[in-house]
Structure 1
C-alpha cells in the first residue's frame, strides 16, 4: 500500500475553523449539513421491504426470517414507517453517535423514529457516504449527541444541521468516491487473505496437537486399537480411560452469582474468561474478601489445576495461573488433577484435541445449549502416556504451538495496520489531505 505521505497534495489550503477537520483545500466549500440535507417523511408504504440502519454497514435490507438479527419489535401495521429511497440519507438518531447512518442503496421503509433526508446541493451520494461514515465524522456525531447515558444518546435536527461539512467540486467528489471504492476493496482483500492465513495457522496448530496426543513423538512406536472409533490407534504402551481416574476431585461452583465490586483483588472466573485453553482477563469481574472467602469455602484453586466451563459454552478449559487470587463464577468447575497420573498441560491439550472435542460434540448433539453434569465431566476421555512422555509431549506442543502463535500474532498485527491505514486513507481523502488523481472521476 502506498504511503500517504508520498501521495500528492493540493496547491493551497485554508483553515476550516474546526480542529477535528484541520486545513482543507482552498477550492473546497465550507458548509454545514443543514445546507446539504432536507428532511422528508413519506409514509403509508407498508409493502416495501424493511430496511435497517447499522453501525457496521450503514443501510441494509432487513432479514425478517433471521430472528438472531432482529432484536427490535416489528409491528403488524407498517403504515407509519418512513420510506427511504435509494440515494437518500437515512439515520438512526438514537445511535448516530456510533455511526448508524448512511446513504441507502435500496428503496424500502425504516422506523418512524429515524431521519430521512434528500440532498439539496450537487452532492455525489457515494462521496457523501464515504465522508459521513468516516471515523472522523462518526467521532464528531458522538460529540454532537447527548442524553442521560451512553446508549440512549440522541441527536436533534438542530445539532445535526450545525455539523460542518466540506464539499469538493462534483468531479472531485466522483474521483474520491471511485478512488476509495478501489483502494478500500484492495485493503479488504489483503485483510481477507491474512484472515485466511490465520485460519490455516490455527488448523496447523490443531494438527500438531492432534498428532502429538494420539500418536506421540516416535513414529516407529508399536500401536494398538484404542477401542474408540474417533480415536483410532494409539501407542501400545499408552492407556485410554475416563479422566475421573486421574482426578483427586471435582469442585463445582456456587450456584449463585458472586457479589461484584470495583476492587481488583479477587478475580471471579466466569465462562467468558475461559477460551482457547487460556484465561482471558478481558471483561474481568472481581469480588471482595468476604465474597472470596465464601466462594472458596470448598477450596482455593491451586496453580496448574484445570478450570472447565460447564455451560455457555461448555468444554472450554484453562490452567489456574500463578499470582492471581480467584474463585469460580457460575457454570465453572475446578478439576483437581492427580499429577502422578496426568500433567495438567497435557490434559488441556487432550480437551482441545479431537479426543475431547468429539466427546463434547456427541453430548451436544440435538441440544441447543450444551450443559455438562458431573457424570459428563468424569467421563471426559483421555489417553495416558507415561508421565515422562507426557512432559516431553507438553514441551513439544508448547514449542511448536508457540511458533504458530507467533505467526498468528504477526498476521493480527498486520491486519490492524491495514485497518488503521484504511481509516487514515478515508479520512485523508474526504478532507483533502491527499489529492486523488482526477482521472479517477472517469472510472
Structure 2
C-alpha cells in the first residue's frame, strides 16, 4: 500500500492508475458497462441528474420537469433506468452531472444510460467518476468547440480508463464514503444554518422599527443620495466589475477587463459603504453593501448605488431592504411584462416610505450587518476547507491510497483523518 498524506498529496491523472493497489485492475468503461437504449413507459417517475448530488431518487415536479428536461407528453420517448445504472447528462458530464440510479425511472433522451455488464457495485464508480481526476478525463473525452457545446458521447465515454477493486472493496469504499461524507455534509450544513441565524437577528431588529407606530416614515428618495462616480474607460488599463447574487448573498467580482472587454455600458466607481442594488434582480433580493474589498471596482449603469443621508445609516437601509418588508418594497418597485424581466423602477422605489428609527437601533442593525459579513467570510473559508477535505478524502479512497478495509482495526488512519478534520473546522 502506498503511503498517503491526505494533507499534502495530490493524485493526478496517470498517477492514480499507476499508484493504485497492485490487486486492483485498470479497465476501460466499455468492459464494465454497455449503453442501454431501453425505452420508458408510463407510470415511472421522471428523474434528473444534478452536478452536486447525482441522480435524483424522487420524481421531478411539474416546474422542475419543464425547467430541466424537455416536456414530452409520451413518456415512451424517455429512457428507462434501473437500479444500479450509471446515468450521465451528455451536455454536462464534464461538470460532474452523473450518478447511479437507486430506483426504476425515466430520464431525458439527452441522458446516456450505462448498464453494468458484470457484477459490480455501481456507487463506487459514481464516487470515482466525480473526482477531479476523472472529471478532467470526461472533459477531455467530451467534444465541442466551446464549454457550453461540449457533448460526451457513449463512444468516447466507453474509452475512459477506471480503477476496478475487488467487489468486496468496492462495497466497503462506497459504504465508508457514504458515512464520512455524510458527516462532513452535516458539519457544512450546521455552519450555513448558523450564518442564517444572524440574518434572522437583522430581520428582528428591523421589525422593531416597522412595528413601532411612533417611528417616522419617510420617503426613500429623501433618506438617500444616488451616488454617481463616472468612469472614463480610456484612462484605465483594466477594471474589475461587480455583480450581485440574489437572496442577499452578497457581491461577486467579474474578471478584470480592458476598455474593449467592458462592452457598451456606462460604468461607475464603487466605494466602501455604498449600497448597491441590481436593476434587474432587486426583486430577488440582489442588494449588498460594498466593503474595502470592493473599493475601486466598478458597476454598470444597471446597478443603482445609494448612500444614506445625514442621520440615516446605510447599513440600516440594507438591513431593511433584506427584510420581508424590504422584499415587499423591492417587488412593488419592480414591474415587468413577463417572467423574470422585472427591472427596478428607481422612481417608484424613491416614493416608498420606510421607517427611520433612532440612531441606537440603526447602530444595532449596522453591527449585526457587519458581524454577518465577517461571519460569512469566515464560514465560507471554513466550508471551502471542508469541501476540499471531502474531495481529497474521496479521491484518496477511490484510488486506493487509503485502505478502508483496515478502517477501525488499527485506528491509525482514523486518528490521522480526525486531526486533519479538526484543523479544517477551525
Distance (whole Å) between structure 2 residues aligned to residue 73 and residue 277 of structure 1: 30
Distance (whole Å) between structure 1 residues aligned to residue 195 and residue 162 of structure 2: 40
> How do 1:33-48 residues align onto structure 2 when only pairs under 5 Å count?
33-43=29-39, 45-48=41-44
Distance (whole Å) between structure 2 residues aligned to residue 196 and residue 429 of structure 1: 29
> How do 1:214-229 residues align onto structure 2 when only pairs under 5 Å count?
214=209
1:324 matches 2:296: yes
Change (3 A) 1:323 1:165: closer
Q: CA deviation at 1:161?
A: 2.5
Distance (whole Å) between structure 2 residues aligned to residue 275 and residue 77 of structure 1: 37
Give RMSD over aligned pairs: 4.5
1:168 matches 2:140: no
Distance (whole Å) between structure 2 residues aligned to residue 163 and residue 344 of structure 1: 55
Change (3 A) 1:264 1:55: farther
Contact 2:27 2:163 in 1 (8 A): yes
Change (3 A) 1:349 1:286: farther
Q: CA deviation at 1:268?
A: 6.6
Structure 1 residue aligned with 2:420? none
Structure 1 residue aligned with 2:77? 80
Structure 1 residue aligned with 2:53? 57
Q: CA deviation at 1:423?
A: 1.2
Structure 1 residue aligned with 2:415? none
Distance (whole Å) between structure 1 residues aligned to residue 274 and residue 253 of structure 2: 21
1:283 matches 2:254: yes
Q: Determine which of 24, 31, 51 is the counterpart of 2:27.
A: 31
Q: CA deviation at 1:436?
A: 0.6
Q: Secondary structure at the match of 1:70?
A: helix
| Structure of higher CA gyration radius | 1
1:241 matches 2:244: no
Greater share of residues in helix? 2
Contact 2:329 2:352 in 1 (8 A): no
Q: CA deviation at 1:323?
A: 5.5
Change (3 A) 1:231 1:361: farther
Instruction: Tell me the TM-score normalized by structure 2.
Output: 0.73
- Structure 1: where are the runs of 5+ without partners? 8-14, 215-229, 253-257
Q: CA deviation at 1:22?
A: 4.6
Q: CA deviation at 1:170?
A: 1.5
Q: Secondary structure at the match of 2:102?
A: coil
Q: CA deviation at 1:396?
A: 5.7
Structure 2 residue aligned with 1:159? 156
